């Protein structure tokens, strides 16, 4: 289970310094401004990244470029981190997952193959989260979804 913030901590952290993220490339590229202390609270990776040689520059808003990251995965983790909301991708009824996972031109695939692709995506998401020390949080997001596949 993900370590929770108290309401007081959350307010304090949200009012603190922020970090800009540029995620993905091309038309899928998204920009986020996220609270530094919330990132550091949940992730040792971000704690190390954002505190090394950055203490003297706390008044500046750093920008982290993540061009090779999947926007869906990044958005899912950080939406859950900030608001405890799970991305619709992991919440849709299982009949709709087949359509969401299958590309538009492969809707006629066998349902089993679509479920396999959905599970593969979930596993990829878990591995993605682990590289940012957010594997436990990713499990909180994905496991309820996988339990009804």
Higher pLDDT, 14 or 60: 14
Query: Does residue 101 carry a pLDDT above 60?
Result: no
Q: Evaluate whether residue 12 is within a structural domain.
A: yes
Q: What is the DSSP string of the chain?
A: -PPPPPHHHHHHHHTS-EEEEEESSGGG-EEEEEEHHHHHHH-HHHHHHHHTTTGGGTTS--EEEETTS-HHHHHHHHHHHHH----GGGTS-HHHHHHHHS-GGGTTS-HHHHHHHHHHHHHHHHHHHHTTT-HHHHHHHHHHHHTT-
pLDDT attached to residue 56: 47
Domain boundaries, position 140: 7-146
Q: Evaluate whether residue 2 is within a structural domain.
A: no
| Domain containing residue 134: CATH number | 3.30.710.10
Higher pLDDT, 93 or 123: 123
pTM exceeds 0.85: no
Q: What is the pLDDT of residues 109-133, one digit of tens each?
A: 566 676 777 788 888 889 999 999 9
Number of domains, the chain: 1
Q: Evaluate whether residue 1 is within a structural domain.
A: no
């Amino acid at each position: 289970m993900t370590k929770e913030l108290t309401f007081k901590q959350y307010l304090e952290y949200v009012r603190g310094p922020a970090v800009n993220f540029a995620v993905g490339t091309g038309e899928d590229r998204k920009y986020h401004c996220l609270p530094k202390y919330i990132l550091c609270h949940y992730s040792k990776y971000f704690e190390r990244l954002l505190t090394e040689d950055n203490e003297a520059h706390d008044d500046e808003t750093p920008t982290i470029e993540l061009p090779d990251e999947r926007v869906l995965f990044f958005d899912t983790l950080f939406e859950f981190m900030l608001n405890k909301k799970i991305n619709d991708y992991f919440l849709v009824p299982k009949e709709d997952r087949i359509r969401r996972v299958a590309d538009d031109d492969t809707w006629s695939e066998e349902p089993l193959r679509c479920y396999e692709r959905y599970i593969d995506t979930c596993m990829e998401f878990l591995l993605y989260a682990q590289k940012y020390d957010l594997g436990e949080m990713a499990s909180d997001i994905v496991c309820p979804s996988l339990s009804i596949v």
